[in-house]
Structure 1
Amino acid sequence: MKMLKVNASVVVIAVLGTVLAGCGSNSSSGSGNGKVELTYWDGAWNTNTAAVVKKFEEKYPNIKVNVQQFPDAGMSDKYLLALKQKNGPDLMNIAVDWITPFATTGGLVPLNNQIQTDKVDLNDFYEGAISVAKLNDKVYALPYRTETHGLIFNKKLLDAAGVDSSKGPQNWADLLAAAQKVTKGDVHGFALPGTNVGNLTTQLFNMIMSNGGSILNSTNTKSTLTEPAAVEMAKLYVDLFSKYQVMPKSMLQNDNIADRNLFTNEKVGMYMSGIYDIAPIKQANSKVDMGVAMVPANKERKTVLGGWGVAITTASKHPEEAWKFINFITQPDISAEYSVTFSARKSAATNPKYQDPLTKPLLDALQYAQPLPQIPQWTQIKQIIFDNIQLALSGKSTVEEAMIQASKAIDELLAKK
């Protein structure tokens, strides 16, 4: 029996060794026919990846790219763990607000030398997009995609309620008044997400920034969430649901996709989102008379700059070939094809796919979009804010209490060495 136990242990160790070896070989390999193989971790929402990869492989026939696509849920945690363990793929598609925390793990390769050697024109990238790709003057990812939010509205519902649908509400008081007029029966005037950390915090930050507020001070050392500009918009976020009741009763369970579906089914008059929602709405309900405007602004027109870039991990055994992929996929024409929003390249703004009248307000809004703080604690900060706003939405605390508690927790987090 003892021998059997020993043999079983050996089998388990052998199996584990095979699994671990498989993880380690994820980064890259030779295919046996002279080709270099790269592994690319991508987002599941990128529907044009296969076509773009095919074009790359036609240009570089000695390189094969194996794509693995993942959903948004749990994506950053999976990537971060792989980087910390130095056991990831060759290439990662990463959100702009992940670049700093990912780079601090030591798991990403700085791209400055490659950029200089290939004379990549960084001035052709939107300033905000390239600024968030840097840490200590080193570029850790090259952006291919950039975006910000706008206000998407149903012209028919607004017109029926006596609201001018030619341009959409210009400030938040106008939006509240319009939402109250549209709300009737099972149709609600406005929708905001009540779940999903990224969805909720991005929408809240849009509102705070458009009111002249911020999340952290200029040195990213203290929370500014208890300042009037931030508290006012956090209160509006909650009051639209609890006090004015112009949002769906299912808000606490709704993320941005749920809000889009409600809008598509003409049960919501207005909501905030990006260019990526226009095509799905048209496809699901071609009869929706849709309008798009910039996010309402009280004091200054500012919204959150979003986007994605591609980075090389230190686990890659073929960084030169990985760079060729990054340089290819971030070209103006290719990035416009690959991105489900806008290209991060200014020169791609004239691309035919961006000339739709519904798209133009979102393209114009990019000049007002601002990157969020690029600090390693940012993911934790978003979670803190999300948790406290949810308490206010569910009536377990006041907005003022929620913002005080969130600020206290954020300040404690930032004070840690």
Structure 2
Amino acid sequence: MRRKSVALVMAAATVLSLMAGSGVTALADEETVELTMWGGWAGDQIGQLEKQLEGFNNSQDKIHVTYMAQDSMEQKLLTAIASDEVPDIVLWDRFNTSVYAPKGALMALDDYVEKDSIDLDQFYEPAVDELRSGDNLYGIPLTVDTRIIFYNKDLLEEAGVDPVSITDWNSLEEAAVKLTKWDGNVLEQSGFSMKDVGLFNNWIAQAGGQMIDDTTNPPTTAFNSEAGLTVLEYWNKLLNEDKVYQLGFEDGLGGDGFKAGKVAMTFNGPWVLEQYKEAGLNFGVIGQPKGPSGDMHAMMGGFGLAIPNKAKHADEAWEFIKWWTTQPENGVEFCKISGNMPANKAAAEDPYFADDDVFEVFTEAYTYAGIRSKVLGYSDVEGLALIPQLQKYVAGEISAEEALANAQSQGDSILAEAAQQ
């Protein structure tokens, strides 16, 4: 029996040697590794992602990636990790890194980056920073986005407003007043949309303030300040003195008065470009206005690609991540498909962006954009403490001082509790 086994082994080795010499690869090498990517993108975005994945899948025959949309993806990921049934890749909202990386949701990628000598300077620095937690990197930046001012060219021309003149809060206010139309007590055209109080974090940075003081232990809120009051006083002037907007005005316009042609100027991001083009809008864009002290600021968001903890095909997932994020042409191609701008700076310098008046303004904004705070509990500070108080303020239910003080009290409690976890 022993001699027979040895003979079989030698025969098998000879066959494999002949296969290799003839250019025939062993069956194990021919097998394609199937990867699954999870993400929260749904609707039309699924088709956009599938088209990009098709480009990767067709570029080689070793790895095949399939996208699966997930509701509440981050929470589902923790459950999947506990049951050892994780996807191989996640399309990751970078803002969630500081919350979920400490919970063990993601694999640190530092060893991969070092092994392949990946130059992280090829990406926008704030996007890389947002994917760090502690001393580790948990993803590679994929897209960047921010908000700038969209304006209706026809409405500005009709009102005699030159968009180039809109450079700061004062000139923005002057333009908004000229662009607003009332018929008695009925607002017919708003000069500037003020529906989103969640943009307070952007406004306060332009006023020279900040949302969080992370030099304290535990961190504390910092928006109940002179800068915070300056923002709310400016809002009050626009809403209640200049009357350039009315709360609820866009509710009957599909939620987007600019798209309906009834709002002359609004803050928005690159994700609406295709929608506005399809709506036939004649629009242009300008960068963020400077605040009272000359500060210019934008808030950068966007996604990265990450590998979940306990992923079974981490090496293959890393190859896919490199293909999409470190080869500029692939970032450009995805923008052509989806309108999402690449986090790779070389991709963003492609003529597709540099020669486009709209993309050029977005690209410039990324040079002065920052990210939201990474301290634990920050998202709840905004969502549970601050925004509800700001909504009461703009509705006239409480004063600016009350809104900020109430939010400070609740926010500090949230941060203190988060620091103990």
**TM-score, with structure 1 as normaliser:** 0.82
SS, match of residue 36 in structure 2:
strand
Asked if structure 2 preserves the Cα contact closer than 8 Å seen for 1:48 and 1:337, the reply is: no
For residues 157 and 413 of structure 2, the distance between their equivalents in structure 1, rounded to whole angstroms, comes to: 49
- Aligned residue identity for 1:343: P
Q: Give 1:82 deviation, angstroms.
A: 5.0
In structure 2, distance between residues paired with 1:177 and 1:391: 26
Unaligned 5+ runs, structure 1: 1-32, 195-199
AA aligned opposite 1:130: V
When structure 1 is superposed on structure 2, of 367-376 and 237-246 the one drifting more is: 237-246
Q: Does 1:40 align with 2:42?
A: no
Q: Is the 8 A contact 1:329 1:335 kept in 2?
A: yes
Contact 1:225 1:404 in 2 (8 A): no
* 1:403 paired residue number: 404
Q: Report the TM-score, using the length of structure 2 for normalisation.
A: 0.81
CA distance in 2, matches of 1:246, 1:77: 41
CA distance in 1, matches of 2:150, 2:97: 29
Q: Who is 2:379 aligned against?
A: 379
Structure with max Cα Rg: 2
> 1:209 pairs with 205, 213, 222, which one?
205
8 Å CA contact 1:83–1:102 kept in 2: the answer is no
Q: Distance in 2 between matches of 1:180 and 1:151?
A: 16
Output the CA distance in 1 between the equivalents of 2:251 and 2:238: 16
CA drift at 1:248: 4.3
Correspondence for 1:189: 191
1:61 counterpart letter in structure 2: D
Structure 2 match to 1:228: 226
What per-residue deviation string (whole Å, max 9, x for no partner) do you get for residues 306-331 of structure 1? 11101111142111111112111212
Deviation at 1:140, TM superposition (A): 0.2
Identify the range of structure 1 (143-152 vs 83-92) with the bigger mean alpha-carbon deviation: 83-92
**1:216 Cα shift?**
0.7
SS for the counterpart of 2:264 is strand
2:290 to 294, 297, 304: 297
Q: Secondary structure at the match of 1:268?
A: coil
Q: 1:238: how far off?
A: 5.2
Within-5 A mapping of 1:327-406:
327-331=322-326, 332-339=328-335, 340-354=339-353, 355-383=355-383, 384-406=385-407
Q: Provide the rounded CA distance (Å) in 2 between the counterparts of 1:61 and 1:406.
A: 54
What does 1:235-274 align with in structure 2 at a 5 Å threshold? 235-237=233-235, 239-250=237-248, 258-259=255-256, 262-274=257-269
The residue type equivalent to 2:119 in the other structure is D
Q: What amino acid is aligned across from residue 397 of structure 2 in structure 1?
A: K
* Corresponding position of 1:133: 131
* Whole-Å separation in 1 of the counterparts to 2:296 and 2:68: 38
> What's the secondary structure of 1:152's corresponding residue?
strand
1:283 is aligned to 2:284: no
Distance 1:172 1:305 in 2: 20
Within 1, Cα distance between the matches of 2:78 and 2:235? Answer: 31
Which residue, 168, 171, 175 being the options, matches 1:171?
168
8 Å CA contact 2:74–2:100 kept in 1: the answer is no
1:47: how far off?
A: 4.7
SS in 1 for 2:31: coil
Distance 1:365 1:353, change over 3 A: same
Return the alpha-carbon distance in structure 2 between the equivalents of residues 231 and 79 of structure 1. 40
Measured after TM superposition, the shift of residue 80 of structure 1 is: 5.9
Larger CA deviation: 389-398 vs 74-83: 74-83
Q: Percent identity?
A: 27
Give the total of aligned pairs: 372
Distance 2:252 2:84 in 1: 36
What RMSD, in angstroms, separates the aligned Cα atoms of the two structures?
2.5
In structure 2, C-alpha distance between the alignment counterparts of 1:154 and 1:314, rounded to whole Å: 46
Shift of residue 193, structure 1, vs aligned partner: 3.1
1:263-305 alpha-carbon deviations (Å, 9 max, x no partner) = 12210000011222223211211xx332211111112111111
Gaps of 5+ in 2: 1-29, 183-187
Aligned-partner SS, 2:58: helix
Residue by residue over 1:227-248, the C-alpha shift from the partner in whole angstroms, topping out at 9 and shown as x without a partner, is 1112221343455345543124
Distance 1:369 1:276, change over 3 A: same
Structure-2 separation of matches of 1:48 and 1:351:
20
Deviation at 1:76, TM superposition (A): 5.0
- Alpha-carbon displacement from aligned partner over 1:316-354 (angstroms, at most 9, x marks no partner): 211111111211121222123224332111111232331
Change (3 A) 1:349 1:357: same
Secondary structure (helix, strand or coil) at the match of 1:104 reads: coil
Question: Any idea what SS the aligned residue of 1:358 has?
Answer: helix
| Residues 38 and 87, structure 2, Cα contact 8 Å, conserved in 1 | yes
After TM superposition, the structure 1 = structure 2 runs for residues 105-116 of structure 1, keeping only pairs within 5 Å, are: 105-116=103-114
Instruction: Give the deviation of 1:356 after TM superposition.
Output: 0.9
1:92 corresponding residue in structure 2: 90
Q: Say if 1:181 and 1:46 are closer, same or farther in 2 by CA, change over 3 A.
A: farther
CA displacement 1:25-74 (0-9 Å, x = unmatched): xxxxxxxx933222211322365312221122223423222211257xx5
Contact 2:258 2:264 (C-alpha < 8 Å) held by counterparts: yes
